[in-house]
Structure 1
Amino acid sequence: MTLSVLLIGFGAGTASALLYAAVASGSPLAVLLLYVAPLPILLAGVGWRHTAGLVAAVVAALALTVGVGPKTGLYYALVVGVPSWWLAYLALLARPGATPEQTEWYPIGRLVIWTAALGALLVTASIPLVATTLEEYRATLREVFSKAFESAGAAGAPLPTGQDPKALVDFMALVAPGVAATFWTASSILNLWLAGRITRASGRLVRPWPDLRGVSYPTTAAYVLLAAFAGSFAPGLVGLAAELFAATFLIAFALLGLATLHVATQKTPARGLILFATYAMLVLQPWIVVFLAGLGLGEQFFNIRRRFGPPPGGPPTAVANLP
């Protein structure tokens, strides 16, 4: 391990720890900073190999342990540090291809599936720390949100007129676990994409930029989504855990649906309008991810993109530069 790797890891870890610790201020901007806390780790890992990412994760965890407390440092390591290092490691994983001039890089689709699985696993693993039954878990969440709304009201931010506080608290307790898992998944994918774009712009990205329209998933991913959806009807914590996997894999297949839409419309004159309308609806009406995930499942089982021809061009090859 060179001195430059250590310095990069130290700087990235310090930046990540500061972003993570900013949430203590309680402002909306600080919450946004919390979701970009993995970015410095990913930048170090993707730009300077996984050893720099590991150094950054360790430095950040130690800094938070000393500066804030052991629980904060441990939680950071489990939720941000280790997953970010692992995703950066997989992003640069490669093996020799069919010829000496080619390299087979770790598929982007598998990276997306990893983020979906990790998002569900991390929230599922936190449940036993809160409660041992579903009723106790939701009661704890209701108490947390009740106190949060009371604090907001005391600070001059009351609920909108006509809003039933109890109904809102019950709703938040119901959807909070799934929202947390999907936010973790979506933000991790976005941070990984940003890390790749930044390192590519700086000339430090060793793998070729993939054609995201051609992303594909293992066949088992579709069965995981379907099984998780069926399992979400089970009672108790088992149903909740299945619900988390269904939510995060729904996000993954929505991305596959978007890739399918990009390919299916590539020869359509109104392509720009269709894509603009789709992305606008994603912002204004996020529930359409259900339909996009359905399109992604259709692509997985029926190979819809093949009917419209392959995407123009293809990802270039590169000499292996194993992390």
Structure 2
Amino acid sequence: MIAIILIGLAAGCASALMFASVISRTLISVLLLYLASMPLMVAAIGWGPLSATVGGIAAALGIGAIFGFAHCLAYALTVALPAWWLGHLAMLGRPVGDGAEPGPHSLEWYPVGRLLLWIAGFAVLITILTLFSVSTDPEAIVAAMKRSVTRILAMYQMEADDRVIGSAAAIAPAMIASGPLIMLTINLWLAAKITATSGRLQRPWPDLKATTLPPMTLVVLCVAVAFGFTGGLLALAAKIVVGALLTAYALTGFAVLHTLTLALKNRGLWLTCAYVVMILFVWPLLSMVALGLADTVFGFRERFMRTRPPPLPTS
């Protein structure tokens, strides 16, 4: 118990320092801010949710004592809560079969797709809190978006009329939501890797190629798209939900890509080229969104795996 508490306090201190580093306004501080939840995730995965709870509370109280209640609440909702809950879910399992041979392989672990859906939910929460820190008036938020778009275009010495700027500002909330989702996903993956390397990961590594979102996710996406054409705060929140879910489908699209390329001889080269193209040009990521959505509807991975020969016996 003492070791669990000490590990949690150490993780909380590291997370709080990474979160507070943003006051330095340096480039490295942005990276540290994005990775602030990882120490608590490591504690939750390797030493249990109690360890992350202790670390999160201690870090939130420390930040609140130094920077005030607003920063304490922001840390608790955007860093500590996602880290604790996702770490808890990652290690959540239930027995399957008759339980004659207890162990990690006799448990059914929480599905990766549902984990990804929780990450999308936290991304929506973080994005809404970020935008509401600017203003709770949707018109003021849109105006701030337009100013940001104008500054970005000016940085690249590009000019655009008001219609283009307005269109970019309209879809900006959906694009912003993708950032927290990707960073939380990376944080959880890194935390699990670190825990596995240290020998504290008490579960098998999941098959990420099989990641699928729950079927009702597509229904929620369609409803959010419909509400996005309304107005006010409801439309703003709907756009954020759309952006988060489309990003989640993009990640499942990558899982589909990794599955469909299993039969290629130079699979590593093809995957590397695909990742490089998407990082350099960004817009090809839309193809991953389309692939993830298409797999949900048509089941490409399931059909492909039916054509694969069964695995060879291990003994």
User: Does the TM-score normalized on the shorter chain lie above 0.5?
Assistant: yes
Look up the equivalent residue of 2:47 and give its one-letter code. Answer: W
Classify the secondary structure of the residue corresponding to 1:45: helix
Q: CA deviation at 1:194?
A: 0.4
Q: CA deviation at 1:123?
A: 2.3
Deviates more, 1:269-278 or 1:243-252: 269-278
Residue 290 (structure 2) aligns with: 294
Classify the secondary structure of the residue corresponding to 1:218: coil
Correspondence for 2:137 among 133, 137, 145: 133
- Is 1:199 aligned to residue 198 of structure 2? no
| 2:126/2:180 contact within 8 Å kept | no
Residue 15 (structure 1) aligns with: 14
Classify the secondary structure of the residue corresponding to 1:95: strand
Look up the equivalent residue of 2:69 and give its one-letter code. Answer: P
Take 1:292 and 1:167, find their aligned partners in 2: how far apart are those partners? 28
Q: Give the TM-score taking structure 2 as reference length.
A: 0.87
Look up the equivalent residue of 1:210 and give its one-letter code. Answer: P
Residue 277 (structure 1) aligns with: 273
Q: CA deviation at 1:160?
A: 4.8
Among all aligned residue pairs of Structure 1 and Structure 2, give the percentage whose two residues are the same amino acid. 37
Per chain length, whose mean CA-contact separation is higher, i.e. which structure has more relative contact order (CA < 8 Å, sep 6+)? Answer: 1
* Cα RMSD (Å): 2.7
Classify the secondary structure of the residue corresponding to 1:309: helix
Shift in CA distance, 21/92, structure 1 to aligned 2, threshold 3 Å: same
Take 2:20 and 2:93, find their aligned partners in 1: how far apart are those partners? 35
Correspondence for 1:308 among 278, 291, 304: 304
Shift in CA distance, 23/172, structure 1 to aligned 2, threshold 3 Å: farther
Look up the equivalent residue of 2:54 and give its one-letter code. Answer: V
Look up the equivalent residue of 1:113 and give its one-letter code. Answer: L
Take 1:162 and 1:281, find their aligned partners in 2: how far apart are those partners? 23
| 1:251/1:289 contact within 8 Å kept | no
Deviates more, 1:80-89 or 1:285-294: 285-294
- Is 1:178 aligned to residue 174 of structure 2? yes
Residue 31 (structure 1) aligns with: 30
Residue 227 (structure 2) aligns with: 231
Shift in CA distance, 295/11, structure 1 to aligned 2, threshold 3 Å: same
Can you give the 5+ residue segments of structure 2 that lack an aligned partner in the other structure? none
Residue 320 (structure 1) aligns with: none
Take 1:291 and 1:68, find their aligned partners in 2: how far apart are those partners? 43
| 2:173/2:243 contact within 8 Å kept | no
Aligned residues: 303
Shift in CA distance, 125/75, structure 1 to aligned 2, threshold 3 Å: closer
| 1:250/1:290 contact within 8 Å kept | no
Q: Give the TM-score taking structure 1 as reference length.
A: 0.85
- Is 1:113 aligned to residue 109 of structure 2? no
Look up the equivalent residue of 2:87 and give its one-letter code. Answer: A
Residue 319 (structure 1) aligns with: none
Take 2:13 and 2:222, find their aligned partners in 1: how far apart are those partners? 41
